[in-house]
Amino acid sequence: MAVEVYQDSLATEIVAVESVSLDPSSSESLRCYPHLALRSTQEVREITFDTLVLENEFLRTVFVPALGGRILSIVHKGSGLEVLRPPRRLTPEPGGRRGVHLPVGIECRVGDAPESMARVSALMEEAEDESAAGAIWIASSTGPLSYHIRYELEPESATISAEARVFNRSWRPQPYAFSILVHGFEQASSWLAWSGSEGVAVSPEEPLWQIDDQRGLTLERAAGAQLMPHQIDSFRFEICPFVGVPQPLHAGVAGVLSLDGGRLRLCAFKRSAAAKVLLLCNGETLEAAVDLDPAGPLDLDLGGRQPSSVVVLTADRQETLRWEAHGPSIGNDLGRPTPDSVPESYLRAVSLHEEGKDAAQELAQHPLHLGTRSATLALQGVHFLRSGLPEAAAQAFEDALLYNAEDHLAWWMRAVSVRLAAGVGEERPELLNAHYLAPLEPALRAEGFLAQGAASSEPSPLVEPLRDQPENFIVVACLLLEMGQIPDAMRWLDEALRHEDLLMLRYLLAYTYLQTGRMEIEAADQMSRAALMPLAPPFPWRPVEAEALRALSARYPSDERLALLSRLARDSVEKGRG
């Protein structure tokens, strides 16, 4: 069976939550700013989630973009068992950054991600033919740390392979941790979580993870570390469902193993004909030829023997699993990483940049520190764009990419520079590179729209997918304004408002009009429209938003709500500076 990737839906019950109104006088209300705190209403509602499904002969895996992109269900088709099964009623519990979290399914978090109960962006990647893999991408770009996770399923495999890329899209170092949380099982140990004889193994490619198996299963990577400006952390892991293996001991490439009641049970992850199982029992090596099949577990009667070591080999003698009774412990003694230091001269340059001031001199004098070298060159490119020098900007971005070719925003900014310098449209290799690295980056859709030339009076279908996370419209506007691209920003904001009428989009458009020096009537119109809108998220926190609100407050000093948002944005920027 070929891998199928398709849309579906899931009807269930959920205990509803509601947002707590923003109260600027309450420290508790501001605890999770720029997000609103959540609380349970105790009201049970029926809800139907849109889902994405990744399916082959062995597994059916269900993703829910509206719940942070978590995996909510995994069916082991050979046995017909739903290994990962959502409860009949989804019940949020107290905890987490926003006051409420939902401990169901398998979720990935960057830090204490507020998106864990919010919609994220998603993309289906269909298999090209019957022998190819299919994939689902889950991504979010609305915070200082953005991420892309690609979940892949091959035709002959019963494991979901994931590749994650976490990117610091800001110009400052950011606190960082990545967690995989496995909910809904009765027991957990090391990389395994299970109930009865069914469960899930999570197998990272690298052993650089902290493991907490006391309350479910949580794997945490890089806790206490920080990502440097425009730095990427990329890594792989596998999610491996299993059945028919009570009290599992170990997971390897071959499958999950248990030794219980004089029997060896092995749930295979891939077909392997003429494989061999080697057992070390009382100094004697025993060998059994077996055919491994993910459709059902292998069950061997050991005749009362208790092996001290088990090894599984393929037909060509490649080792795919090794268990030893007194093997090394896993994971929990790795210590905490020491954050890298950042030169004060670099941070001073960033502060000037965030305030809309010229930081070119400071950047030119900044020593090429290893951790900030590519970011310094990219930031120089941004200042060249602000100064109307797209050719120099393109060269600066090219230099930055020599030191960090995985910076998809630098590829995008170079593509913008090339368009401005030479009028080149769609066919730019920079955009292809950026798309390969981060296909759900909202700036790429924006550049596709801006490169089309004259705008239409109708909403662009190219831009429409950004409505999955409306804050993406603000993300792009801030990037364009940061680079000083007022005409592009004006056109983008006009288009964005055709899709989502957000308070910050109105304020940013008013600010953009004022930047032209000749559109005060249009700016006043946007301010009037904003005054009629409720005080609702997304709330401002980015340096560009803070600078825009500061300028608008100076121009409209009697607007109390504007002054409030300006103060909140400024405080958020100052908090980010540490």
**Span 25-53, pLDDT tens digits:** 888 788 889 999 999 999 999 999 999 99
The C-alpha atoms of residue 1 and residue 116 are separated, in whole angstroms, by 33
- How open is the CA angle 411-344-335, to the nearest 5 degrees? 80
Reported as a pLDDT band with limits 50, 70 and 90, residue 205 is confident
Residue 333 lies in a domain: no
Q: CA torsion sign, 377 to 378 to 384 to 386?
A: negative
Neighbouring CB atoms inside 10 A of 417's CB total 26
234: alpha, beta or left? (left if phi > 0; alpha if psi -120 to 50): beta
Q: Poorest-confidence range of 205-214, 252-261, 514-523? A: 205-214
* Residue 323, pLDDT above cutoff 70: yes
Q: What is the pLDDT of residue 333?
A: 41
- Report the CATH number that the domain containing residue 439 is assigned in CATH: 1.25.40
Q: Domain containing 104 — which CATH number?
A: 2.70.98
pLDDT digits (tens, 9 = 90+) for 495-510: 999 999 999 999 999 9
Domain housing 159: 4-242
- At residue 331, the pLDDT reads 43
* Residue-wise pLDDT tens digits, 129-151: 999 999 999 999 999 999 999 99
Instruction: Decide if 329 is inside a domain.
Output: no
Place 423 in a pLDDT band, splitting at 50, 70 and 90.
confident
For the segment 401-417, the average pLDDT, to the nearest whole number, is: 97
- The yes-or-no verdict on residue 364 having pLDDT over 90 is no
- pLDDT tops 60 at residue 230: yes
Q: Are residues 230 and 164 in the same domain?
A: yes
The reply to whether 126 and 215 lie within a common domain is yes
Q: Tell me how many domains the chain contains.
A: 3
Percent of the chain with pLDDT over 70: 96
One-letter amino acid at 481 equals L
Q: How is residue 293 annotated by DSSP?
A: -
Q: What is the DSSP letter of 334?
A: -
241 Cβ contact partners less than 8 Å away, ≥ 6 residues apart:
59, 74, 76, 83, 84, 158, 198, 199, 200
CATH number at residue 270: 2.60.40.10
Q: Which of 330, 149, 124 is nearest to 234 (CA)?
A: 149
Which of 273-282, 327-336, 491-500 has maximum average pLDDT?
491-500
Does residue 283 share a domain with residue 187? no
pLDDT of 566 reads 97
Return the structure tokens found at 211: 């493991």
Sign of CA dihedral 486, 488, 491, 492: negative
pLDDT at 334 over 70: no
Q: Are residues 161 and 292 in the same domain?
A: no
Q: What is the pLDDT of residues 51-75, one digit of tens each?
A: 999 999 999 999 999 999 999 999 9
Residue 331, domain member (yes or no): no
Q: If pLDDT is split at 50, 70 and 90, which confidence band does 426 have?
A: low
- Least confident span in 355-359, 429-433, 504-508: 355-359
Burial class of residue 279 in the structure, from the number of CB atoms within 10 Å of its CB (0-12 exposed, 13-18 middle, 19+ buried): buried
Q: Of 222, 242, 262, which closes a domain?
A: 242
pLDDT at 442: 98
259 plus 120 within the same structural domain: no
Domain C-terminal end among 190, 216, 242: 242
Residue 293 and residue 238 share a domain: no
Summarize the confidence of residues 382-403 as an average pLDDT.
96
In a domain, 339, yes or no: no
| pLDDT tens sequence across 112-129 | 776 678 899 999 999 999
Residue 291 lies in a domain: yes
In a domain, 84, yes or no: yes
- Are 454 and 365 members of one domain? yes
Question: Is the domain of 233 the same as that of 302?
Answer: no
If pLDDT is split at 50, 70 and 90, which confidence band does 424 have? Answer: low
Average confidence score pLDDT of the chain: 91
pLDDT number for residue 367: 66
Whether residue 216 is found in the same domain as residue 121: yes
Q: How confident is the model at residue 365 (pLDDT cuts 50, 70, 90)?
A: confident
Q: Is 244 left (phi over 0), alpha (psi -120 to 50) or beta?
A: left
Report percent pLDDT > 90 for the chain: 75
Question: CB neighbours (10 Å) of residue 328?
Answer: 6
Q: Tell me what pLDDT residue 503 has.
A: 98
- Given 324, 355, 385, the domain boundary residue is 324
Contact 326, 318 (CB under 8 A): no
Q: Is residue 382 part of a domain?
A: yes
Q: What is the pLDDT of residue 327?
A: 66
Residue 443 domain-assigned? yes
Res 577: pLDDT: 82
Q: Mean pLDDT throughout 199-206?
A: 90
56-70, 299-313, 434-448, 489-503 — which is least confidently predicted?
299-313
Q: What is the per-residue pLDDT across 517-546, written as a single tens digit (0 to 9) for each?
A: 999 999 999 999 999 999 999 999 999 999
Dist CA 141 CA 243 (whole Å): 36
- Are 170 and 40 in the same domain? yes
Residue 120 is predicted with a pLDDT of: 95
CA contacts within 13 A on the Cβ side of 299? 10
Q: Are residues 307 and 417 in the same domain?
A: no
Same domain, 211 and 85: yes
pLDDT at 446 over 70: yes
pLDDT at 153: 97
